[in-house]
């Protein structure tokens, strides 16, 4: 029946700050849909940003900045990605640590976006 994820809405308090973080820190491509919606592309899937003070309908029952816990796959070795974060003065909360991903063992690091959302950045575990 279902075949994948098209987009996931991320509620943010400051659109410009969120776009800067996700594009500069995480390297996502930015697509402006209109004045109130921005898509951050992950391959053929989008993180769609909605700012808290906009009137977009329909929305979730309780759209709350900082409530997201999201795991994103990384193409770089995590040590290289961590060096990138260090160069940008982005704090890593935890990792690298071993975890279980959707398709098997992964190694992950954890950080937060400007709204406090928890972002897990992962790679398949070395065997």
Q: What is the CATH number of the domain that holds 13?
A: 3.10.180.10
Whole-angstrom distance, CA of residue 36 vs CA of residue 51: 7
The pTM score is 0.92
pLDDT the model gives residue 127 = 62
- Domain holding 19, by residue range, is 7-124
Residues involved in catalysis: 120
Is position 1 within any domain?
no
pLDDT in the model for residue 76: 92
∠ CA 56-15-60, nearest 5°, is: 35
Q: How many domains does the chain have?
A: 1
Phi/psi zone of residue 93: left (φ > 0), alpha (ψ -120 to 50 degrees), beta?
Answer: alpha
CA 13/CA 123 separation, integer angstroms: 29
Q: DSSP readout, 17-70? A: HHHHIIIIIT-PEEEE-SSSEEEEEETTEEEEEEETTS--SS--SS--TT--EE
Length of the chain: 127
The mean per-residue pLDDT over the stretch 29-38 comes to 88
- Residue range 13-38: mean pLDDT, rounded: 93
- Asked, for residue 107, whether it belongs to a domain, the answer is yes
């Amino acid at each position: 029946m279902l075949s994948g994820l098209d987009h996931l809405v991320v509620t943010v308090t400051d659109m410009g700050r969120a776009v800067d973080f996700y594009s500069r820190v995480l390297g996502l491509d930015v697509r402006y849909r209109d004045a109130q919606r921005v898509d951050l592309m992950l391959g053929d899937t989008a993180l769609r940003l909605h700012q808290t003070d906009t009137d977009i309908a329909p929305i979730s029952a309780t759209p709350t900045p900082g409530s997201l816990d999201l795991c994103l796959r990384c193409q770089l070795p995590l040590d290289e990605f961590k060096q990138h974060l260090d160069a940008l003065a982005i704090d890593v909360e935890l990792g690298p640590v071993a975890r279980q991903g959707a398709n098997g063992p992964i190694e992950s690091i954890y950080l937060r976006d400007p709204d406090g959302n928890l972002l897990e950045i992962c790679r398949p575990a070395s065997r």
